[in-house]
Amino acid sequence: MIYESLSAEGKELIDPEYPFTKIADGFRFLEGPVWHPYEKHLTFSDIMGNALYRWIPQDGVTLLKQNSYLTNGNTYDRSGCLISCEHGTSSLSKMNKDGSRTVLADSYNGKGLNSPNDAVVRSDGLIYFTDPVSGRNEKFGIPRKPELAFSGVYVYNPKDRSLQLLVNDFEKPNGLCFSPDEKYLYVNDTIQQHIRKFSVDKSGKISGGEVLCDLILDGPGVADGLKVSKDGLLFCSAPRGIQIFSPNGNIVGRLYVPEFPANFTWGGPELDMLFLCSTTTLYSVRTSIKGIPVL
């Protein structure tokens, strides 16, 4: 791992005193890491291995769920239930406290969703998720034709169980996250290799959608995982690792990783550890900034 600062804002974002650490390896394609800020554990997916795993610092990695329905992204709702994006069933689902599964959304206007990919929960409980066709191909899902003619970004309201399409002009919407004040929603596009910025109103609707920044395309890797730090810096899976942008879209730093990090998240007791799901390996590195807890 190598960190490169590209501006004053990007200086010393990665703690030079903490080693780049391999936590576990031997997986097929890692994704969807989420840290539980109270129970102090990391849950993550192995899409191609069709399983969910959990890492507890004192106990190591254990199998959480054998058949994950090819789950990709994960997060928590306001009650602490795990929310998952299932490629195999084209569903947004919830793991209840007793371990049972509830399907929250699997269709829009009578047609099956493509394959929910990543999700983020607003502080009022609204669940936003992207829906590209990735889970309908052989590599990351089950081959089948899409029923929808577009790849959308949706919001699910758990109070009335309604699903609303927010935008449908992406080629391949993937990672998404809110600004720290939740006034903006950022969504990246894997095909276009850029990040877009939407304004969010109190009802949950979005507007705008201008391109905030384009990724630097100088090696293998694509726009995938997307997270924001407590102070508003955007971290995005990108060619050669992770590219870091200021809130106004200027690139401030790059983290070069030996295996492509499809997704990542902050965690640890102080929320200053960055956990990277890098293809076959789970890594960690300490940052000088902190993430935002999901609960």
Token pair 């507007």 is found at 207
Q: Which amino acid is at 143?
A: P
1 pLDDT tier (thresholds 50, 70, 90): confident
5 pLDDT tier (thresholds 50, 70, 90): very high
Kindly report the length of the chain: 295
Distances in whole angstroms, Cα of residue 73 to Cα of each of 30, 61, 85, 119, 183: 10, 18, 5, 6, 22
How much is the average pLDDT of 153-166? Answer: 98
- Degrees, nearest 5: CA angle 89-223-169: 70
User: Model's pTM, two decimal places?
Assistant: 0.98
Q: Is the pLDDT of residue 107 over 90?
A: yes
Q: Is the pLDDT of residue 259 over 90?
A: yes
Residues in CB range of 218: below 8 A, 6 or more apart: 239, 240
Tokens describing residue 51: 């399983």
pLDDT given for residue 16 in this prediction: 85
How much is the average pLDDT of 180-199? Answer: 98
pLDDT given for residue 17 in this prediction: 86
Q: Which amino acid is at 39?
A: E
Task: Tell me if 245 sits within 8 A of 232, measured CB to CB.
Answer: no
**Domains defined for the chain, CATH in brackets:** 2-286 (2.120.10.30)
Residues 291 and 267: their CA atoms lie apart, in Å, by 7
How much is the average pLDDT of 231-249? Answer: 98
Task: Tell me if 224 sits within 8 A of 257, measured CB to CB.
Answer: no
How much is the average pLDDT of 91-105? Answer: 97
